[in-house]
Amino acid sequence: MTPQAATTSVETLLAAEAARVDEALERALRDALARPATALDPVVRYGTLWGGKRLRPVLCVQAYRSLAGDPPAPVYEIAAALECIHAYSLLHDDLPWMDDDDTRRGRPSTHRVFGTAQAVLSGAALISIACATATRGAVRLGLGEEAAADIVGALARAAGAGGMVGGQALDLAGEGGSAGYEALERIHALKTGALLSAAARMGALAAGASAPVAEAFAAYGAHLGLAFQVADDVLEASSAAAVLGKPVDGDARLAKSTVPGLLGLEGARAVAFREAGLARAALREAGLADGALAALADYAAGRDR
């Protein structure tokens, strides 16, 4: 398959799954938001439902599908929980005391529309919505208490201080500094890779995977996560805000060390594709190769938005 054809089929997969993920997201928000509605409702909805590729939920449902066939509704609840954590991270990442970005997904970022206090509260609300939704989905799958705890635990660990939030803390500490490649790889693995890895692991666990199989999916997701973040840095260094729907001057403005800054654009692209290859290999070597998951890894490395 040509790279163009691979991108098109991944974009078709993302678009096809987005509708089912968004249905589950809508339901999760409807169940969780207070009745009668509060001022938080439009803020949470604005920051969550509009735009975005839905890559994390799609990885989760595709991991499930590769092991157990068409995913039932509770798998989409688990997938929606991943998107809630991701949406909260974007809401908070855009705040003035984080990356201070005015646009996201082609629109003014949430705090620019609703103010910083509402954006902070909405992000916090999304964490508990994610926990409730993942727990409900995991229990509804009927796999038993231990598997349900593994699924929710994977999400909580990936989102927290040993994952995404820890990576963000390292990233902020490094602003204006000169992190070398290994330090950057660690930041990316935690800040971005942990949640993508959890997405693949959670999909596998939802399908009843054994610990070694879940581990192979987690390794796949971790390599895909590195590919994805290095591609993000390449896009920030080489694309336009109008294409990405978010500012492209953040890394330079915050004087962040980046993989393209260290290795050049071509060197960074090579790292992204090497990681995509390692992602595919993690599944292949465990006898778990799947065409759509392989294409998603290549898409993560070579994407244009």
**How far apart are the C-alpha atoms of 205 and 94, rounded to whole Å?**
32
The pair phi, psi for residue 103, each rounded to 5°, is: -130, 150
Considering the rule CB under 6 A, would residue 232 count as an interface residue with ligand GRG? yes
Q: Per CB under 6 A, which region of 12-20, 86-94, 109-117, 272-280 contacts ligand GRG?
A: 86-94
107 DSSP β-pair partners: 104
Instruction: Kindly give, in sequence order, each residue whose CB lies less than 8 Å from that of residue 200, ignoring residues fewer than 6 positions away.
Output: 59, 60, 63, 217, 218, 220, 221, 224, 293
Applying CB under 6 A, which of residues 109, 192, 257, 258 lies at the interface with ligand GRG?
192
Which whole-number Å values give the CA distances from 166 to 50, 157, 160, in the listed order? 27, 10, 7
Considering the rule CB under 6 A, would residue 296 count as an interface residue with ligand GRG? no
Cβ closer to ligand GRG: 147 or 229? Answer: 229
Q: Per CB under 6 A, which region of 2-10, 14-22, 90-98, 254-262 contacts ligand GRG?
A: 90-98
Considering the rule CB under 6 A, would residue 61 count as an interface residue with ligand GRG? no
Cβ closer to ligand GRG: 53 or 186? Answer: 53
Rg over CA atoms, the chain: 18
- Shortest distance, CB of residue 9 to ligand GRG, whole angstroms? 18
Cβ closer to ligand GRG: 176 or 212? Answer: 176
Instruction: Kindly give, in sequence order, each residue whose CB lies less than 8 Å from that of residue 101, ignoring residues fewer than 6 positions away.
Output: 93, 94, 109, 246, 247, 250
- The region, left, alpha or beta by phi > 0 then psi within -120 to 50, assigned to residue 104 is beta
Cβ closer to ligand GRG: 11 or 215? Answer: 11
Q: Which 131-190 residues touch ligand GRG, going by CB under 6 A?
A: 164-165, 168
Applying CB under 6 A, which of residues 92, 111, 201, 223 lies at the interface with ligand GRG?
92
Applying CB under 6 A, which of residues 20, 21, 28, 52 lies at the interface with ligand GRG?
52
Q: Per CB under 6 A, which region of 6-14, 25-33, 73-81, 88-96 contacts ligand GRG?
A: 88-96
**How far apart are the C-alpha atoms of 25 and 286, rounded to whole Å?**
32
Q: Per CB under 6 A, which region of 6-14, 18-26, 48-56, 128-136 contacts ligand GRG?
A: 48-56
104 DSSP β-pair partners: 107
Number of residue whose CB is nearest ligand GRG? 52
- Shortest distance, CB of residue 84 to ligand GRG, whole angstroms? 12
Q: Per CB under 6 A, which region of 89-97, 131-139, 201-209, 212-220 contacts ligand GRG?
A: 89-97
Q: How many residues bind ligand GRG (CB under 6 A)?
A: 17
104 sits in which H/E element:
strand 103-104
**How far apart are the C-alpha atoms of 6 and 8, rounded to whole Å?**
5
The pair phi, psi for residue 108, each rounded to 5°, is: -55, 135
* Token output for 221: 């997701």
Q: How far apart are the first and last CA of the chain?
A: 21
Q: Which residues bind ligand GRG (CB under 6 A)?
A: 52-53, 55, 86, 89-90, 92-93, 98, 105, 164-165, 168, 191-192, 229, 232
